[in-house]
Structure formats: structure tokens, C-alpha cells
Structure 1
Amino acid sequence: MNLQPLSNSKIGEYIRIRREAKGWSQDKLSKETGITQQYISEIELGKRNFANDLILHIALALDTVPSEIWLQFEREALPEARIKWKEMKDQE
């Protein structure tokens, strides 16, 4: 079982929420970060992996910090990830 899509989707969802709270389109975030609009869309949909430096650029553009993005993941996705992890281990 792969837990990566779970973390990507929760982080992407939080990025989308922060972007919309600023009243920004994906295109605006793209221009602010230098990341293509298509890539931002795929991050927000949980379809893309991303490096920490990408999260840094997005966080700075959205007036937040990378740790806040990761904390949001911990609050929302970690409990579900623990359940899936236990299920996976129980099946072994």
C-alpha cells in the first residue's frame, strides 16, 4: 500500500485553500512562484510529487511557511495514514 497519494492530496488541498483565500488563481500563483500552472494544478489535485524547495516557493508566495503546510498534513492526513499503515502491516 502506498501512502504517498494520501499525503500529496492533503498537502495539495491545503495549498489550494491558501491560494483561494488570497483570491489568487492558479495562474497568479504560477506567476508568483515560477512553477507552471499545470504543475500547480497537479499538486493541488494530489497527482504530483514535489520537492521541499517547491513547497518553500509556494509557502513564501502564499505568505505562510513550509512547516504550516506540513502541520496541516499532520492534522488531517496522519491519523488516516496510521490506520492504513496498520491495515497494511496486519495483512503481511
Structure 2
Amino acid sequence: MGGWFLGALISLTALPRVPLDGELLTVVSVGVPIGLGIHLAWVHRDWSAHIETIGLATAAAGALAGANLLLIVLDIAGERSNRHRVAVATAPPAAP
């Protein structure tokens, strides 16, 4: 609700012709905080900036149509590549 209230306040002061019940105002003012919140809940400190940027872009793009689903898919893809790296790194040495 805070995002919508901020969007309504900005709309009332800067864009008086935009209706408060307009779809675009609602989608943008609610979707942006949702995408940011999803990203902040998903991010880990030990990840590289590149992964975090991809996650932010994914959350922003999917904030309106399933950001959680898109980040779960991104996690699964990352987990598969990490599992492969761990399996290679922890493989027992070949017996002589």
C-alpha cells in the first residue's frame, strides 16, 4: 500500500491529469516496491555483483507476473551449475 500511496502523492503533485485509479499508476507504484522487496529477500552477501544484477533485473521484470517464480528458476539454474562445480572440486583423487 505504501508504494501506491507514494505513487498517488507523486501523481497528484506532478501529474494531475493521471487518474488515481488508473491501471498504469497502480501497476508501476505497486510493482516497483514488490520487485525491490523480492530482490532484497533473495540476494546473498557472498554472491558476485553480476549475479545480483541479474537477480534485480529478473525481479524488476517479473514483479508484476511472478517474480518469485522467475527467481526460483534462476536459483535452480545456479544451483545446478554450483552442484557441478562442487562435484568436480570434491571428487576423490584417482587411485594409483
Q: TM-score, normalised by structure 1?
A: 0.30
Larger radius of gyration: 2
Q: TM-score, normalised by structure 2?
A: 0.29
The answer to which structure, 1 or 2, has the higher relative contact order (CA under 8 A, 6+ apart) is 1
